[in-house]
Amino acid sequence: MRLRTPAAFALAFLFGLAHAQDPAAAVDPMPATGPLAPLAPVPADLRQSRSTLRQLGIDYEITLRGIQGTAGVPFPVRSDQVIQRATLHLKYSYSPALLPDLSHLKVTVNGVTAATVPVPSEDAGRELERDIELDPRLFVDHNWINLQLIGHYTRDCEDPDHTSLWANIDRGSYVELAWAPLQLANDLSLLPLPFFDPRDTSRLELPFVFPGQPSNATVQAAGVAASWFGAQAGYRGALFPTYTGMLPVQGNAVVFGTTRNPPPGIQLPEINGPTLAITNHPQDPNGKLLLVLGRDEAELRVAASAMSLGTPLSGELAVVQGYREVEPRKPYDAPNWVPSDRPVRFDELVRDQAALNVRGYHPDLIRIGLQLAPDLFVWESDGIPVNLRYRYTLPEGADKSAMNVSINDAFVTTLPLNGRPHARPAPVRLWNSLKAKGQMPIEQPLMLPTGPFSSSSQLRFHFFFDRPVAEACKNTFPDVSAAIDGDSTIDVSGFPHFIAMPNLAAFGNAGFPFTRLADLAETAVVMPDNPGQDDVANALALFGRMGASTGYPALRAQVVNAAQVEQYAGHDLVVLGSSRSQPLFTRWASHLPLGNTRDGSRSYALTDWLKRHAPFFFSPDSRRTDLPTTAEVAVRPEAGDVVLMGFESPLRSGRSVVALQAEDPAQVARLFEAWFDPEKLAAFQGSVVLLQRDKVVSLAGNQTYHVGKLPPLTAMRWFFGNHPLWLAVLVCLASLLLAMVARWLLQRRAASRTRAGG
- Given a cut of 50, is residue 435 above it in pLDDT? yes
pTM of the predicted model as reported, rounded to 2 decimal places: 0.82
Residue-level pLDDT at 484? 95
Closest CA to 521 of 484, 546, 489: 546
CA 135, CA 10: separation in Å to the nearest integer? 16
Residue-level pLDDT at 34? 40
Kindly report, residue by residue over 198-238, the tens digit of the pLDDT.
Answer: 988 889 999 999 999 999 999 999 999 999 999 999 988 99
Kindly report, residue by residue over 701-727, the tens digit of the pLDDT.
Answer: 767 899 998 888 877 777 777 777 877
Angle at 540 between CA 536 and CA 544, to 5 degrees: 170
Helix axes 216-233, 533-550, angle to 10 degrees: 40
CA 94, CA 699: separation in Å to the nearest integer? 44
Write the burial class of residue 638 (CB in 10 Å: 0-12 exposed, 13-18 middle, 19+ buried): exposed
Kindly report, residue by residue over 513-546, the tens digit of the pLDDT.
Answer: 999 999 999 999 999 999 999 999 999 999 999 9
Kindly report, residue by residue over 54-79, the tens digit of the pLDDT.
Answer: 888 777 788 888 877 788 888 888 88
Lowest mean pLDDT, pick from 504-518, 610-624, 718-732: 610-624
Kindly report, residue by residue over 665-679, the tens digit of the pLDDT.
Answer: 999 999 999 999 888
- Work out the percent of the chain whose per-residue pLDDT is above 90: 52
Phi-psi region of 642 (alpha: psi -120 to 50; beta: other; left: phi over 0): beta
Confidence of residue 568 (pLDDT cuts 50, 70, 90): very high
Beta-strand pair 523-527/366-371: unpaired
- In this structure, what are the phi and psi dihedrals at residue 487, rounded to the nearest 5 degrees? -90, 5
Answer for the pair 553, 227: CB distance below 8 angstroms, yes or no: yes
Most confident segment among 51-55, 184-188, 227-231: 227-231
Residue-level pLDDT at 163? 86
CA 229, CA 237: separation in Å to the nearest integer? 10
- Given a cut of 50, is residue 616 above it in pLDDT? no
Answer for the pair 31, 167: CB distance below 8 angstroms, yes or no: no
- Given a cut of 60, is residue 156 above it in pLDDT? yes
